[in-house]
Structure formats: C-alpha cells, structure tokens
Amino acid sequence: MYFSEYFEGKSAQGWTFLGRPVEPARIVSFMHTDGPFTTAAALRGPAALCIDLLLDPEYVHELLDYITDASIARMQAWRALLGHPPEIPDWIAADDSVEMLSVDQYREFVLPRHRRLYDTFSPGVPRGIHLCGNAQRLFPIIRDELNVATFDTGFPVDFTRFRKEMGKEVLISGGPRAPLFVEEDPTPLLQETERILRSGILEGGRFILQEGNNLPPRAPLGHCEAFYRHGIELQNG
C-alpha cells in the first residue's frame, strides 16, 4: 500500500521520468494470485507438498481449499479498495508449480480450485493462463475443462505438438528459452527462433513470439533487436 500511495503523491506533484508523466500504480500484486498450488508449495516446500499428496491427500485438499478461499477474499478486498470491478476481463491466471503434477493429480487436487478462481473473477471467456516449466501435458485439460484459450509459456514447449494438439484457435505466447538471450553469441538464439517459427506454430496465426519466459538481466540489447527483427523477417517471409 505504501508503494501505491508513494507514487500517487509523486503523480500529483507532476513527477516525470524521461519526459513522461509518472502514473500511480493502478494494479498491485495483492490483486492477483500466483495460484493455489504454487502458494501451497511455498508454504510447505515443494518436496513436502509432493509427499503430502501421496501420504495425506485429505490434508492437501483442505490446504488448497483454505488457500483458494483466502486468495479470493484478498483479491476481492484489494480490487474493491482500489476501485476495480470485481471481475477481470481476459484474466490470465497462473500456477507454475502444477508442473510437478500428473494429469490425474491436477484433475483431483487443482482443477476444482482453478475453476473456482475463474468462475469468481472471469466467469465469461476468453480466459488465459501463464505456466512456466514442463506443464504441456496439462494444457488440453485446462483448455477443455476451464475454457482457457490463451497460454503464456516458458520452456520447455513442443510447439509442433502444441498446434496439433490444441488447434488453430488457441493463442500461445512463447519462444526461445531465456538463457539463450545472455549467451555471448546470438547465433543459437536466432537458430532457435527460426526452428520455433518453422515448427507449424504459425498455422492459424494465433502466436505471440517472445522470450520464454522472462527476459533475463543483462540480456544485450543487440541480441533482443536481432531476435525481434529475425522474427519479423521469418513471419513475413
């Protein structure tokens, strides 16, 4: 809250940065969630939580319900406090730690809690989700059960499989794995960019090329520019 109030004051004073007015923070982290299973992993530790799944599944159900209830209450309270509507159009949720789960485990433990979050904050469509890591096996159930049509990804991702499995209407954001952006030679980055764009992922046009996922510190601007231009050339070619 102090962060938001600080920039509210600076904005009221006419503060600028690089000649542009500084706008106060309209969105704060408390208005969103990293996901119930990711929160549970942070509380219990990933290894302990995975043991809980096997040895004490009822506890995991109780924990995830508690986290989901608390997350919804917190998000609703902060949205009301900052004057935001209760629903979030085009909401992109997240829950990176589900990459530790099988499809059956996701269906049992996490899917009902994801459904509650979406039904509360994004009762219509479209819906999106951010999932870093090796979670691609979960994409079809998330699409089919939660009406999610936008996937923001990290790595690894099999882009050929994604387009064949998910269809032309589903949007994916993704690209070369983040470490390639900090290598001294940009050649592997550009080669991986070309491999991805020639994988069939462009079929239907529902693809956003980006780093996968996020742009790491100290990434040379020259690498970023070369990546951007190479992507344009390949998509236009």
Q: Over the stretch 48-99, which tens digit does the pLDDT of each residue have? A: 999 999 999 999 999 999 999 999 999 999 999 888 999 998 899 999 999 9
pLDDT of residue 125: 77
pLDDT of residue 65: 99
Asked if residue 197 lies in contact with residue 191, where contact means CB atoms within 8 angstroms, the answer is no
The reply to whether 20 falls in a domain is: yes
When computed from its CA atoms, the radius of gyration of the chain, rounded to whole angstroms, is: 20
pLDDT of residue 1: 62
Burial letters 6-40, b for 16+ CB under 10 A, else e: ebeebeeeeeeeeeeeeeeeeeeeebbbbbbbbbb
Range of the domain at 2: 1-31
**What is the tally of structural domains in the chain?**
1
Q: Please provide residue 157's backbone torsions phi and psi, each rounded to the nearest 5 degrees.
A: -135, 130
**Residue 66 token pair:** 């508690």
The reply to whether 226 falls in a domain is: no
The reply to whether 97 falls in a domain is: no
The reply to whether 26 falls in a domain is: yes
Cα–Cα distance for residue pair 202/128, rounded to 1 Å: 19
Residues of the chain with pLDDT under 70: 1, 237
The reply to whether 18 falls in a domain is: yes
The reply to whether 154 falls in a domain is: no
Cα–Cα distance for residue pair 165/199, rounded to 1 Å: 13
